[in-house]
Amino acid sequence: MAKPALKAALLSPQRAPGEHPLLVVGPSLGTSTILWNRTASLLGTNFDVVSWDLPGHGVSPAATEAFDVAALADAVVDLIDSIVPGESFHYAGVSLGGATGLQLGIKHGERLKSLSVQCTGAKLGTPEAWLERAETVRTQGTAVMLQGSSERWFAPGFMEREPGLSSRLLHALRDADRFSYAFCCEALAGFDVRAELGSIAVPTQAVAGAADTVVPPSFAEEIVAGITAGGGIANAVTLEGVAHLAPAEAAAHVAELLRNLITWSESRGAGK
C-alpha cells in the first residue's frame, strides 16, 4: 500500500518546540482540523497541539492511489518527524483518526506517550458498506454525504445550538476531494485490528458518545477489553449528549479528559 502525504496545522501558540508536551490530534472522515479547534484552544497553554488532515481534506494534498490505515499511521509518524524528528508524542484521534491511533499503538508504540481514541472502534462498519460509499462518492461527489453526515455526526439539538461550527464542519466535508474520500472509505473497509489490540502497551483512553449511532459505547469497551487482556492500561469513558464528533460537541469535557491523561502519563514517565 502507498503511504499518503499529510500536512498539519499548529493549533497552539507558536513557540520553541520541546518546552511543552506534544499532542498530535487526528480527524474524522470528512472533517478537518476545524474539528479540534475548540478543544485545542483549551489545551494550548500547556501543550503543543498539532492537528493533521486526511488526504484530500483541509490542507493535505489529494491522494493519487490507495492506502490503508496502517499507512496513515506511518504517514503521521513521518509528518511528526518532519517537524520534531524522533519526538515522542501524545495522540488523540476521532473515528478514522482514532483508528489511525490504534495502528500507531500497534506499529509505533515506542513513539507514543498516551493514546486517546474517540468515537471509533477496532473495526468500523462492514467492508461492503464502505466500498459502496466509496463508489457513491467517486461518482457523485462528497456533497451526497452532507445530509447523512449531519444526522450521524451531531447529537440532537447541536446544529441548532451551534450553527456556525456545524456549518464549518459540513463545509469541510463538501470541500474534501471525492477520490481521496473514497480511498479513505476503502481503507476503512480493510481495517480490523481486533486481534492486535493486546499489543498496545501505551496508556489508552477510549471515549464514546452516548448518542453515537455509528460507533456506540460498546466499541470503546471492546477496545479496552482487548488492550487490558494483553496487559495494557486502558479505560473507557462515555460522554452524554455527544454523538460522533466529541471534540466539537464537548470540547471542555474532551480537553479535561486529555489533560488528565497526558498529565498522568507524563508524571508516570518521569517516575520511571
CA distance 120 to 118: 5
Examine the pLDDT at 270 and tell me if it is beyond 80: no
What burial class does residue 175 get, using C-beta atoms within 10 Å of its C-beta: 0-12 exposed, 13-18 middle, 19+ buried?
Answer: middle
pLDDT of residue 140: 97
What is the per-residue pLDDT across 65-86, written as a single tens digit (0 to 9) for each? 999 999 999 999 999 999 999 9
Cell numbers describing residue 147: 445530509
Examine the pLDDT at 88 and tell me if it is beyond 90: yes
CA distance 204 to 196: 14
Examine the pLDDT at 63 and tell me if it is beyond 70: yes
Q: What percent of the chain has pLDDT over 90?
A: 95
Q: Are strands 204-209 and 112-118 parallel, antiparallel or unpaired?
A: parallel
CA distance 90 to 39: 15
pLDDT of residue 2: 84
Q: What is the pTM of this model?
A: 0.96
- Mean pLDDT taken over the chain: 96
Q: Are 97 and 26 in contact (CB under 8 A)?
A: yes
Q: Are 81 and 106 in contact (CB under 8 A)?
A: no
Name 209's bridge partners: 239
pLDDT-derived band at 16, boundaries 50, 70, 90: confident
* CATH number, domain 8-270, options 3.40.50.1820, 3.30.420.40, 1.20.910.10, 3.30.70.3040: 3.40.50.1820
Examine the pLDDT at 89 and tell me if it is beyond 80: yes
| Range with lowest mean pLDDT among 112-116, 130-134, 268-272 | 268-272
Q: Report CA dihedral (77, 78, 80, 81) to the nearest 10 degrees.
A: 120
The 10 Å CB-count burial string (b at 16+, else e) for 90-116 is bbbbbbbbbbbbbbbbbbbeebbbbbb
pLDDT of residue 151: 95
Angstrom CA distances, 116 to 162, 196, 202, 259, stand at 25, 17, 10, 11
pLDDT-derived band at 272, boundaries 50, 70, 90: very low
Report how far Cα 234 is from the mean position of its chain's Cα atoms. 17
Q: Are 172 and 58 in contact (CB under 8 A)?
A: yes
pLDDT of residue 271: 39
What is the per-residue pLDDT across 163-203, written as a single tens digit (0 to 9) for each? 999 999 999 999 999 999 999 999 999 999 999 999 999 99
Give mean pLDDT, residues 34-58: 97
Give mean pLDDT, residues 35-57: 97
